[in-house]
Amino acid sequence: MLLPGSGLLEHCHHPLVRDLAWILLAPDLIAMPWPGRPSRSDLGLEDDDRLVAWLNELEAAPGALEAHLAPALKGRMGLYHERLWQFLLAEAPGTRLLGHNLRILQDKRTLGELDLLYCQRDDPRPVHLEVAIKFYLGLPQGPESPDSQARWIGPGGADSLAAKREHLHRHQLTLASSPEARETLTQLLSLRWPTGPDGPAPGMSARLAMPGALFYPWHAPMPAPREATSDHLQGHWLYIRDWYRLRDSLPQSTSGAWLYKPHWLALPRSEALQPLRDLEARLAQHFTAPTSPVQLALWHHDMGWRRVFVVADDWPRQIPLPPRP
């Protein structure tokens, strides 16, 4: 599945600007019973020409973006993704960032954090936005039914789409409506908005942004998980033993790139790719010992882009249990 608006991404050369543009364009993985991400219209970037001009300004002067993302370039990909959203909501012409990573306490115990709090520049009502970026691989045999979200697990096997979905739905997205959160939000917002009978800033809503990609097994058919969006980004995963069969099925002169965290978002520009034989040699070396899966981006002018995860022949070494009802 191609990235919607991928032509707009080609205006960007700086890797950090490309990742920022990617979160503007990438669809969410699943549609939950919560409002989705702020739209380009909300951000004041609905018009393609205006978006390109805004991105070009960042390309010309990327210092502020580089400084903001520097602490996250060697950390968790989730932190990198959060900081991209912080910058976007603070700098986009249609929104204002009010706060981020707001700890909610009960006595001295942390109940959780609100990822982001923002508002429209022409609407003072605050919006709570939770963000998550996920890359899940589907198991043709696994727990529950074939379309269960529990069959979609992270490359390391430690988490699943089902577990993440339930945590977001039952905890993170309801946290802002708790009495403890109202106290925190009152302190933050009281200088800007009067409080109502139910807490600060009546009408505050919760939204979710959850981009990423779902990787379907190359060796077996598998349906999409429940709630998957129709336009979610897709790839394939395969065992290292199947690599040569995949390679032989690709068009000649296919090239590619080895993707490193946290740069799993925007795919590299085609001029930055390597010959497939170079990637193949590195793969052979990588899998000589027990090791982690590898995400590759493959490209050919007739095929277009293709995301691929290559895993060890004994993957997965663990499968998370489905969340309890």
What is the C-alpha to C-alpha distance for residues 49 and 248, in angstroms, rounded to an integer?
Answer: 41
What is the C-alpha to C-alpha distance for residues 30 and 283, in angstroms, rounded to an integer?
Answer: 31
Report the relative pairing of strands 255-259 and 294-300 from DSSP bridges: antiparallel
**189 has pLDDT over 80:** no
The structure tokens 């200088």 sit at: 191
Q: DSSP assignment of 162-209, as one string?
A: HHHHHHHHHTGGGGGGSHHHHHHHHHHHTTTS-EETTEESTT-EEEEE
Task: Tell me the three state secondary structure of residue 89.
Answer: helix
3 vs 222, higher pLDDT: 222
> Structure pTM?
0.93
What is the C-alpha to C-alpha distance for residues 282 and 297, in angstroms, rounded to an integer?
Answer: 14
What is the C-alpha to C-alpha distance for residues 133 and 85, in angstroms, rounded to an integer?
Answer: 11
pLDDT of residue 7: 78
What is the C-alpha to C-alpha distance for residues 60 and 50, in angstroms, rounded to an integer?
Answer: 15
**2 has pLDDT over 80:** no
What is the C-alpha to C-alpha distance for residues 116 and 119, in angstroms, rounded to an integer?
Answer: 10
The DSSP H or E segment spanning 285 is: helix 276-286
pLDDT of residue 108: 80
* Per-residue model confidence as pLDDT tens digits over 162-177: 999 999 999 999 998 8
* Per-residue model confidence as pLDDT tens digits over 252-288: 999 999 999 999 999 998 888 999 999 999 999 999 9
* Per-residue model confidence as pLDDT tens digits over 69-128: 999 998 799 999 999 999 999 999 999 999 999 999 888 888 899 999 999 999 888 999
Reported confidence tier of residue 187, pLDDT bands at 50, 70, 90: confident
- Percent above pLDDT 70 for the chain: 94
pLDDT of residue 324: 81
Task: Tell me the three state secondary structure of residue 93.
Answer: coil
In the chain, where are the structural domains located? 6-311
* Mean pLDDT, range 33-56, rounded to an integer: 94
CB 204 within 8 A of CB 125: yes
**190 has pLDDT over 80:** no
CB 127 within 8 A of CB 193: no
**235 has pLDDT over 70:** yes
Among candidates 111, 125, 121, 157, which has minimal Cα distance to 138? 157
Q: How many Cβ atoms are within 10 Å of 243's Cβ, its own excluded?
A: 19
* Mean pLDDT, range 225-234, rounded to an integer: 97
* Per-residue model confidence as pLDDT tens digits over 211-223: 999 999 999 999 9
57 vs 107, higher pLDDT: 57
pLDDT of residue 199: 43
What is the C-alpha to C-alpha distance for residues 262 and 271, in angstroms, rounded to an integer?
Answer: 20
Reported confidence tier of residue 194, pLDDT bands at 50, 70, 90: very low
